[in-house]
Amino acid sequence: MTILLLALRRLAASVPTLLLILAGLFLLLQLAPGDTVDALMAQMGGGDPATADELRRFYGLDLSATAQLGRYLWRLVRFDLGVSAIYGKPVATVIAERLPVTLLLAGSALVLSFAGGTLLGIVAARRLDRWPDTLISTLGLAFYATPSFWFGLMGIVLFSIRLGWLPAGGYEEVGGGLTGLARALDIARHLVLPSLTLALVFLATYLRIMRASMLEVMSLDFVRTARAKGMGETGIVVRHALRNALLPMVTLVGLQAGTMLGGSVVVESVFALPGLGRLAYESVVQRDLNTLLGIVFVSALLVIAVNFAVDLVYGRLDPRIAAGR
């Protein structure tokens, strides 16, 4: 009950921010030259002004910018995100179709990079300045410095074209008619390369934070006490140090939730995944204002939700934080 109350309070506090973001974005997009009908004209390779006028009326672009903004906000108050110009469907539907793909991709990448980063960070910290540490740190740096589209393409070249182990792209087998577990496995197979690609970049960050945090915690008094009472190294790391060292990691998850949503644009393009990132890119190019604002709105909600979850996890990891609230 307190959690629910807390969540509502958090949401209410973000309403002004959300409104500012949406209105700001709307105005920003007014500055971009060209509207959705120009984009459409470009796509269809030309057309006459009569067609263009007809389409502008159809998309409601014949109104002034203030009238459009007013109309948008009024709709938003009634939880109506409007109709997507590219897809001719309600924005809510379009986003609902795309959201699972992005959540699945970002979620699995998050789990992979978090778990991998934690593990490698511990190993590096335990073998400080010896070859495992050097190797892990160097690899981490290399992953961090390499653009993710390159990883993706190289993964495709190696695992799809040369070895033929994994599909080169797509979300699932088209028209395969799979259901249930078979479909889940098929989707999982398609998501291996994209998740790994997205995870590798974030892995480096988690690894370095974990390593530093682990080193710090291992030098604290309570670890020395644990050693003094004759506890084994593994026990110290797992039972005492890990829990404390995880705090900065969890902070990072909250901070990177937004980045991960944004970072999936590239990966979704390379692997032809129908996710939110690609939808956002497409909406910018096509000047589909309603869809873009809808995506920003939903993404903002997601980030708020993730950060709320992070706050709860803090309390679980370190009771002192919860007690202070």
Partner 1 sequence: MMLSGTFSKQALVMSSTRRDFLSAAGAVVLGAAWTPPARADAPRRGGVLTVQLNGEQRVLNPAIRASTGVYVVTSKIMEPLVDLGPDGRPVPVLATAWEAAPDGKTVAFRLREGVSWHDGKPFTSADVQFTAMEMWKKYLNYGTQLQLYLDAVDTPDAGTAVFRYSRPMPLDLLLRALCDLGYVAPRHVFEGTSILENPANTAPVGTGPFRFVQYERGQYVIAERNPSYWRQGTPYLDRIVWRFILDKAAAAAALETGQVQLSTYNALALADLDRLKSDSRFTVSSKGLEANAFNNTLEFNTRRKELADVRVRRAIAHAVDVPFFIENFLYGLGKPATGPIPSSSAAFYPQNPPPYGFDPKKSEALLDEAGFKRGAGGTRFSLKLVPIVNGEDVPLLATFIQQSLQAVGIRVEIVNLDTAGALSTIYRDWNFDLATGWHQYRGDPAVSTTVWYRSGSPKGAPWTNQYGWQSDEVDRLVDAAATELDPARRKALYATWVKAVNDEIPVWMLTERTFLSATSKRVHGDHNMPRWGSGDWHDTWIDA
> Quick check: 252 and 205 in contact, CB under 8 A?
yes
Separation of alpha carbons 145 and 256, rounded Å: 17
The one segment of 33-41, 104-112, 116-124, 219-227 that binds partner 1 by CB under 8 A:
33-41
247 binds partner 1 (CB under 8 A): no
Residues present in the chain in total: 325
Separation of alpha carbons 75 and 129, rounded Å: 59
Alpha-helical segments (H) within 219-241: 221-228, 233-235
240 binds partner 1 (CB under 8 A): no
The one segment of 68-76, 115-123, 249-257, 264-272 that binds partner 1 by CB under 8 A:
264-272
Phi, psi for 63 (deg, rounded to 5): -85, 165
34 binds partner 1 (CB under 8 A): yes
- In sequence order, which residues have a C-beta less than 8 Å from that of residue 165 and are 6 or more positions away? 159
40 binds partner 1 (CB under 8 A): yes
Question: In the set 61, 81, 85, 218, which binds partner 1 (CB under 8 A)?
Answer: 85
Q: What tokens were used for 181?
A: 């577990």
98 binds partner 1 (CB under 8 A): yes
Residues binding partner 1: what is the number (CB under 8 A)? 54
Question: In the set 87, 143, 151, 202, which binds partner 1 (CB under 8 A)?
Answer: 87
153 binds partner 1 (CB under 8 A): yes
Write the interaction track for partner 1 spanning residues 112-141; mark x where CB under 8 A is met and - where it is not: ------------------------------
> Quick check: 276 and 80 in contact, CB under 8 A?
no
208 binds partner 1 (CB under 8 A): no
Least distance CB 28 / partner 1 (angstroms): 14
Separation of alpha carbons 113 and 100, rounded Å: 19
Q: Please give the radius of gyration of the chain, using alpha carbons only, rounded to the nearest integer.
A: 24
- In sequence order, which residues have a C-beta less than 8 Å from that of residue 325 and are 6 or more positions away? 315
Which residues sit at the interface with partner 1, rule CB under 8 A?
Answer: 32-36, 38-52, 54-55, 58, 85-88, 94, 97-98, 153, 156-157, 160-161, 164, 167-171, 174-175, 269-272, 274, 278-279, 282, 285-287
